[in-house]
Homo-oligomer: A and B are copies of this chain.
Amino acid sequence: MELKPIKLLSSGCYLPKVISSEEIDRKYNLAAGYSEKFSGVKFRHHATHESIGWMGARAFEEALEKSGLELADIDLLISAGGTYDYPLPNQASIIKKELKNGQNHTFGCIDIDCTCLSFVSAFDIASKFLDGKQYKNIAIISSEISSKGLNPLNKETISLFGDAAVAIIVAFDSTLQHGIIKGSITTYAEGAELTIIKGGGNKFFFKDYPYDAYLHSFQMDGIKLLRLAKKKIPIFISDFFSNTPLKFGEVSWVLPHQASKSGLEIFYNLFPEIKQKSLNNLINRGNCIAASIPLLLHENIENGTIKRGDILFLTGTSAGFSIGGCLLKY
């Protein structure tokens, strides 16, 4: 089996303050039990004093320590996420600035944004950089704070999203034992505006459109989105596995983006055979945007569920509307 060499060396994470669904119910005057029942999320984390860059740097430092590498060994930092501290510069540079010794090293800082699929794409791209020469070790960091951008009037999203930062350090694998079997992303333009934050970019510029909870918050046309997902996911999965040396059923673990309870249910209903193999953390973490999939990776490597040699399938949907997947040997 031909592998594009990439080895996950280590991971680290930073989770801010835990918030229970009871607290959400009380804070937003919802009926007791409403938030958990609606979202399927018991606990999630919300940043208080933390910034995206700061959380990312802490996750990175944990991963770096576990890897046994020094900061001098890192050849590239990829920030893979949909949220940012500043509109400019890119988030990767801000994470680097927040590192204890970031100023002493010159590795480049690149952002890759496919919203919730940013980590999946960044992992694939990292494997393309890794050549064992110019690029030996790469840090991929998904640090996301969505809690500030949620509309308190939207009961669906206020309970669904959580904040988290995860860092994964990957290396060129000269043994050719660990790597990517296939990576792919498809984008369906008809869904481009079904999940959107309208205000705050060039189209609805701050100057002309003052803050409005609706305009500047995450909006989702849930019904149309689920309909599109239901139609396109089976096509994506079938196309993806049509030319791989492994069948979908041979995957050890599926790590689906923790989009929502109904998003995960669509996936399980379409492919009931993989429900037992699907890792999830929606109940304790919520939807952490691009950090959801690497958080599943981190937690299940740490607790021993994912073992060396396992075949992992990272997959999910993202705003855009995209469906992506990365099949790899851990």
A residues adjacent to B (C-beta < 8 A):
51-52, 76-77, 82-90, 92-94, 96-97, 99, 102-103, 105-115, 121, 125, 128-129, 134, 145, 148-149, 184-190, 192-193, 195-207, 210-211, 213, 216, 218, 318-322, 324
Contacts and interface: CB of A to CB of B under 8 A. Distances in A.
Contacts of A319: 88-90, 93
A192 B89 contact: yes
Contacts of A83: 201-202
B201 A84 contact: yes
A82 B88 contact: yes
B211 A210 contact: yes
Contacts of A106: 186-188
Contact of A128 (B103, B128, B210): B128
Nearest to A87: B197
24 contacts: A51-B202, A52-B202, A76-B185, A84-B202, A87-B197, A87-B201, A88-B197, A88-B319, A89-B196, A89-B319, A89-B321, A90-B113, A90-B319, A93-B321, A96-B187, A96-B192, A108-B324, A109-B322, A110-B114, A110-B185, A111-B114, A148-B202, A148-B205, A210-B211
B203 A97 contact: no
Contacts of A84: 201-202
A148 B207 contact: yes
A192 B92 CA distance: 10
A197 B86 contact: yes
Total copies of this chain within the assembly: 2
A296 to B, nearest CB: 22
A109 B102 contact: no
Nearest to A207: B211
Contact of A102 (B76, B90, B125, B189): B189
A149 B88 CA distance: 11
A206 B84 CA distance: 13
B85 A203 contact: yes
Given A97-B193, A114-B110, A205 B149 contact: yes
Contacts of A113: 90, 110-113
Contacts of A190: 103
Nearest to A143: B202
A3 to B, nearest CB: 14
A93 B113 CA distance: 11
Top 9 nearest A-B pairs by Cβ distance? Answer: A108-B185, A93-B320, A128-B128, A89-B319, A97-B192, A111-B113, A102-B189, A109-B187, A106-B186
B322 A93 contact: yes
Given A85-B203, A205-B149, A110 B110 contact: no
B184 A134 contact: yes
Given A128-B125, A185-B108, A199 B192 contact: no
A318 B196 contact: no
Contacts of A121: 108, 110
